[in-house]
Amino acid sequence: MANPTPRVRMPAQVKAGQVIEVKTLISHEMETGQRKDAEGKTIPRKIIKSFSAKFNGKEIFRSEWHPAVSANPYLGFFVKVPEAGTFEFAWVDDDGAVYKSEQKVTIG
Q: Which pLDDT tens digit goes with each residue over 23-55?
A: 999 999 899 889 999 999 999 999 999 999 999
Burial of 29 (0-12, 13-18, 19+ CB in 10 A): middle
- Mapping DSSP to helix (H, G, I), strand (E, B) and coil, where does residue 59 land? strand
**5-107: CATH homologous superfamily?**
Immunoglobulins (2.60.40.10)
**Mean pLDDT value of segment 77-95:** 97
Q: Using the 8-state DSSP alphabet, how is residue 31 labeled?
A: B
In the chain, where the domains are located:
5-107
